[in-house]
Amino acid sequence: MRFANFVKAAALSATALWLAGCASTGGQSTSGVDKTDGAKPVETIIEVKPVLDPAVQAVIDTGVVKATPEQIGKLLNKTTYNFAFDSSKLKDLDYKALDVQAAYLNSREGRGKQIIIQGHTDERGTRTYNLALGERRANAVKNYLVAKGVSAGRIEVISFGFEKPLDPAHTEAAWAKNRRAHIVTN
Amino acid sequence: MIKAIHRTGSLRAKDTIVRFWLLAVLVSLQIFTSSAHAILTIEVTQGNDKAVKVAVAPFSWEGERLLPEDLSGVVDNDLKLSGLFAPIPRAEMLSFPSKASDVVYRDWSLLGTSYLVTGRITQSGSIYDVSYQLYDITQQKRIATGRFRGVESQLRNLAHRISDAVYQKITGIPGDFSTRILYVTAKRWNVDRTDYRLNYADADGQRQREVVRSREPILSPAWSPDGSKVAYVSFESGRPAIFVQELATGKRDKVTGFRGLNSSPVFSPDGKWLALVLSKGDNPDIYVKNLETGKLSQLTRSFSIDTEPDWMPDGKSLIFTSNRGGSAQIYQLGVQPQADGTMTADDKPVRLTFKGRFNARAKAFPDGKSIAMVHKGKGAADFNIAVLDLDTNRLRMLTSARLEDSPSVSPGGRRLIYAVQGGEQGELGIVTADGRVKYRLPSAEGDVREPVWGPARD
């Protein structure tokens, strides 16, 4: 039982490490838990608590998101939202991620942050119409966040149309990648 | 009599052979020098098999040093680019006359030439004097002469003036060779770095000048009606703002820098208003700014995208793109200037386009009878230049490459310039309004886009 708990803790800690992306989160410096496989139990006394990325923890603490820390971490990392051609409609899967983004921005951790939402399009259509379309995409994201309680004054929308493609190729795949709204948190 | 002419002709031929070689050397040297400075080059992609044959004989010049510009070459090229004329190569010419008495009609007639242009350049002090003669070969008579004067830096202007005059004499329509084009070049290094430049050049792609450069996007350039100023959108601060800049001094004003879109500035035909697009964080709508009083008037209020305004030539209405009907289409809106310096608009715009699911970025022809636009065809990348006749409602496709954008009509209404993005690099395209002749202007400096055909220079 103790052992099982240990494995669980180690695995969580490893997840936290992975989520944090680096050792900036204190607490997991306990020796012997530096391998992700968790298959090498070491005698050292275990004081490892599930240590989470503070952002993930902050989202959990708001109590509005029902998801595992792992899922929350993933959704927090989702800052890019893709769209169909000539559309500024969010997809069903995006709402869950935006719920997490909103929860974070409303949390004690994210409360003071300003964000910029960039709107981008593919290269089809006219350059100036696409500037307007890019703004609609960014506004779709903004409006959802505002509906979830984020103050509109903290959100700036900037449309780049198709001036900044991720992929400059003239292919369906490149176009799909380039049609996006992107959240930048300061 | 015929014999006599013939004899004179052959005597002349000998004389011309010597002159021809001399000139050929000079001319080829000049062509080499000027093409080394060309940033936009011209490639004819579709010629006109019904073009009228003309001959532009090398202009005579007896100065001591080499002329910095090949003036007759400029005229020759202008006439070719008009799409109406097919100049015959110099190598086919039997003589290079510069006086009426040297013109042997029969020789030119044998070459199938309908018109002949000759010229003479003299210099006194810093002033060059260029005179030209236009001959109708069929009627065997001189039909026009004229002269233009200017300093060395204006030599190409003088040549374009001659092209304008020749074109007008033959077709009855003013030429548009003394005009300039404004366009944006973009050199993309990677996803995070692109260098943008706004430039203008002569309509033949020569003499490029830079207006402004930035690491952030530059978009939507527009000419003032007198060609002295340009308006554009620059993201140099990280956000879009509209600027108006004087070309001669470089002095510029920020016209708008609101939250959200600041887009698509375009001067009214009288130069007193600037139509533009603002979203102020909400939906993009059409506004006009009074350039004398600075007053801003909102002209559309909709929950849809309203953008890409252009003025009809009489200044009494605007055409613009809106997706209020569910897809992007062109609408027309009547406008009225008010005594207090504001402008009001009709309650409802009138929809102009009905064919297809996407019609955008319309530009009015100078006669106000038709509008050019980007029209989406069936294929995913089929965005092409089309012209809508406003009387008959007939939509005519002019081009057929992939991903074309931003048409702009020449001041004479005879040619359109547009952007082609579907290739390896963005290029400019020019097409005659009848769709017969097409050519491309790739840039040596990366992608080139958003061309705007400007007015003739003074």
Q: Do A131 and B374 touch (CB under 8 A)?
A: no
CA dist B223 and B453 (Å) reads 8
| Residue in B144, B149, B172, B162 with CA at minimum distance from that of residue B78 | B162
The pLDDT of B413-423, averaged and rounded, is: 94
The pLDDT of A81-105, averaged and rounded, is: 95
Q: Do A124 and B321 touch (CB under 8 A)?
A: no
State pLDDT tens for residues B430-443. Answer: 999 999 889 999 88
CA dist B165 and A11 (Å) reads 84
| Distance, C-alpha B381 to centroid of its chain | 25
State pLDDT tens for residues B24-65. Answer: 444 433 333 343 345 788 787 888 888 999 999 999 998 888
CA dist B255 and B295 (Å) reads 11
CA dist A21 and B217 (Å) reads 33
Q: Please provide the average confidence, as pLDDT, over all residues in chain B.
A: 90
Strands B317-322 and B415-420: unpaired
Tokens 């902050």 map to which residue? Answer: A58
Q: Do B264 and A128 touch (CB under 8 A)?
A: yes
In this complex, how many residue pairs, one in chain A and one in chain B, have their CB atoms less than 8 Å apart?
94
B284 → chain A, closest CA residue: A132
CA dist B299 and B286 (Å) reads 5
Which residue from A136, A168, A170 is facing B305, i.e. has the nearest CB?
Answer: A136
Residues A149 and A112 in one domain: yes
Number of residues that make up chain B:
458
**B103 vs B47 pLDDT, higher one:** B103
In degrees and rounded to multiples of 5, residue B443 shows phi and psi of -110, 145
The pLDDT of B84-111, averaged and rounded, is: 95
CA dist B132 and B217 (Å) reads 45
Q: Do A127 and B403 touch (CB under 8 A)?
A: no
The amino acid at B51: A
State pLDDT tens for residues B159-175. Answer: 999 999 999 999 998 89
Residues A26 and A66 in one domain: no
- Determine the structural domain holding residue A118 and report its residue range: 56-185
CATH assignment at residue A175: 3.30.1330.60
The amino acid at A60: I
DSSP string, B240-287: -EEEEEETTT--EEEEE--SS-EEEEEE-TTSSEEEEEE-TTS--EEE
Instruction: Please tell me the predicted confidence (pLDDT) of residue B379.
Output: 93
Q: What percent of chain B has pLDDT over 90?
A: 82
Tokens 């402008």 map to which residue? Answer: B343
Residues A47 and A67 in one domain: no
Instruction: Please tell me the predicted confidence (pLDDT) of residue A43.
Output: 64
The pLDDT of B232-246, averaged and rounded, is: 97
Residue A165 exposed, middle or buried by CB count within 10 Å (0-12, 13-18, 19+): buried
Which residue from A123, A128, A136 is facing B421, i.e. has the nearest CB?
Answer: A123
Name beta bridge partners: A157: A117
How many CB atoms are closer than 10 A to CB A143?
14
- With cut-offs at 50, 70 and 90, classify the pLDDT of residue B13: very low
Radius of gyration over alpha carbons of chain B, in Å? Answer: 24
The pLDDT of A10-24, averaged and rounded, is: 45
Q: Do A157 and B284 touch (CB under 8 A)?
A: no
**B65 vs B22 pLDDT, higher one:** B65
Instruction: Please tell me the predicted confidence (pLDDT) of residue B30.
Output: 38
CB distance A157 to B260 below 8 Å: yes
Residues A12 and A85 in one domain: no
Which residue from B238, B279, B360 is facing A129, i.e. has the nearest CB?
Answer: B360
- Beta carbons within 8 Å of A167's beta carbon, 6+ residues apart: A173, A174, A177, A178
Give the total number of structural domains in chain A: 2
Residues A65 and A153 in one domain: yes
Q: What percent of chain B has pLDDT over 70?
A: 91
The pLDDT of B362-371, averaged and rounded, is: 98
Residue A37, token pair as written in the block: 């496989």
In degrees and rounded to multiples of 5, residue A177 shows phi and psi of -65, -35
Residue B16 has pLDDT above 80, yes or no: no
CA dist B286 and B319 (Å) reads 10
Q: Do A131 and B261 touch (CB under 8 A)?
A: yes
Which residue from A123, A133, A139 is facing B403, i.e. has the nearest CB?
Answer: A123
Tokens 């069929």 map to which residue? Answer: B138
CA dist B385 and B376 (Å) reads 9
Residue B1 has pLDDT above 70, yes or no: no
N- to C-terminal Cα separation, chain B: 47
CB distance A170 to A102 below 8 Å: no
The pLDDT of A166-184, averaged and rounded, is: 96
User: Is B383 in the A-facing interface, judged by CB distances under 8 Å?
Assistant: yes
Residues A130 and A94 in one domain: yes
**A59 vs A12 pLDDT, higher one:** A59
Residue A31 has pLDDT above 80, yes or no: no
CA dist A169 and A167 (Å) reads 6
State pLDDT tens for residues B203-221. Answer: 999 999 999 999 999 999 9
A-chain CB neighbours of B277 within 8 Å are: 128, 132
How many CB atoms are closer than 10 A to CB B247?
18
Which domains are delineated in chain B?
2-171 (3.40.50.10070), 179-456 (2.120.10.30)
Residues A96 and A177 in one domain: yes
Q: Pick the range with the lowest mean pLDDT from A146-155, B210-219, B381-390, B449-458.
A: B449-458
Residues A174 and A99 in one domain: yes
Residues A24 and A69 in one domain: no
Between the alpha carbon of residue B353 and those of residues B268, B283, B346, B362, B434, the distances in Å are 23, 22, 19, 10, 20
Q: Ramachandran region of residue B307, left (φ > 0), alpha (ψ -120 to 50) or beta?
A: beta
The conformation of residue B163, written as its DSSP 8-state character, comes to H
In degrees and rounded to multiples of 5, residue B64 shows phi and psi of -75, -35
The pLDDT of B79-104, averaged and rounded, is: 94
CB distance B352 to B324 below 8 Å: no
Residue B211, token pair as written in the block: 């207006």
Instruction: Please tell me the predicted confidence (pLDDT) of residue A50.
Output: 67
DSSP H stretches of helix in A21-126: 54-62, 69-77, 92-106
Domain boundary residue, one of A36, A51, A66: A51
Instruction: Please tell me the predicted confidence (pLDDT) of residue A39.
Output: 57
CA dist B244 and B233 (Å) reads 9
Helix (H, G, I), strand (E, B) or coil at A178: helix
Which residue from B260, B383, B449 is facing A125, i.e. has the nearest CB?
Answer: B383
Residue B315, token pair as written in the block: 């200044």
How many CB atoms are closer than 10 A to CB B290?
19
The amino acid at B12: R
Domain boundary residue, one of A33, A51, A69: A51
H/E element, A15: helix A2-20
| Residue in B181, B455, B184 with CA at minimum distance from that of residue A127 | B184
Residues A100 and A170 in one domain: yes
Helix (H, G, I), strand (E, B) or coil at A93: helix
Q: Do B403 and A158 touch (CB under 8 A)?
A: no
- Beta carbons within 8 Å of B11's beta carbon, 6+ residues apart: none
Q: What is the ipTM of this complex?
A: 0.87
Domain boundary residue, one of A11, A33, A51: A51
The pLDDT of A75-97, averaged and rounded, is: 94
CA dist A152 and A144 (Å) reads 10
N- to C-terminal Cα separation, chain A: 44
Instruction: Please tell me the predicted confidence (pLDDT) of residue A6.
Output: 42
Residues A103 and A164 in one domain: yes
User: Is B308 in the A-facing interface, judged by CB distances under 8 Å?
Assistant: yes
- With cut-offs at 50, 70 and 90, classify the pLDDT of residue B358: very high
CA dist A172 and A84 (Å) reads 11
CB distance B218 to B241 below 8 Å: no
User: Is B322 in the A-facing interface, judged by CB distances under 8 Å?
Assistant: no
Instruction: Please tell me the predicted confidence (pLDDT) of residue A105.
Output: 97
CA dist B90 and B93 (Å) reads 5
Instruction: Please tell me the predicted confidence (pLDDT) of residue A37.
Output: 54
A123 → chain B, closest CA residue: B403
**A36 vs B96 pLDDT, higher one:** B96
How many CB atoms are closer than 10 A to CB B103?
20
B-chain CB neighbours of A123 within 8 Å are: 403, 421
Instruction: Please tell me the predicted confidence (pLDDT) of residue A2.
Output: 41
Residues A132 and A180 in one domain: yes
Instruction: Please tell me the predicted confidence (pLDDT) of residue A42.
Output: 58
Instruction: Please tell me the predicted confidence (pLDDT) of residue A106.
Output: 96
Residue A67, token pair as written in the block: 């998801």
